[in-house]
Amino acid sequence: MMTETDRGWTGRLLGADFEVRAPTRAACLARLRRAAGEDAVLTVEISPALVGVAEAAALLGWDRRRVITYVDRGSFPEPLARLASGRVWRREDVAAFARARRSGRRRG
């Protein structure tokens, strides 16, 4: 399993009690291969980086209330899931929304 973070990539082998970290996806995969053994066959699942309202607000330079206002208006990307703790989005969807707003193609 590999996940992108703000500081690069993390990876974990199924059943292993350690994690590898690397600045790039390729470097993370290389470290996982070394940890598994060069002859091991790996099936890699890449989980998307997720953000909640607070993280989305930080990405946009907004406060949480403004994010919620855009969500309520239907002017924000659709959440990936609605959990008991709140909505979550793919980080890339929120980053794309931010880029579109900065380039003048505002949605909302």
> Averaged in consecutive runs of 10 residues, what is the pLDDT profile of the chain (108 residues)?
88 90 94 90 88 95 96 95 94 94 68
Q: Are residues 6 and 42 in the same domain?
A: yes
Which residue blocks in the chain are alpha helix, DSSP H? 25-36, 53-60, 64-73, 91-102
Looking at the fold, whether 55 and 96 belong to one and the same domain comes out as yes
Total domain count, the chain: 2
Range(s) of the domain holding residue 43: 2-47
Position 105 scores a pLDDT of 59
Show which of 47, 64, 84 is a domain's final residue.
47
Residue 86: which region, alpha, beta or left (left: phi > 0; alpha: psi -120 to 50)?
left
The answer to the question of residue 11 being in a domain is: yes
Task: Of 33, 60, 58, 59, give the one whose Cα is nearest residue 44.
Answer: 33
Contact 37, 30 (CB under 8 A): no
Task: Report the predicted TM-score, pTM, of the whole model to 2 decimal places.
Answer: 0.68
Cβ contact 86:52 at 8 Å: yes
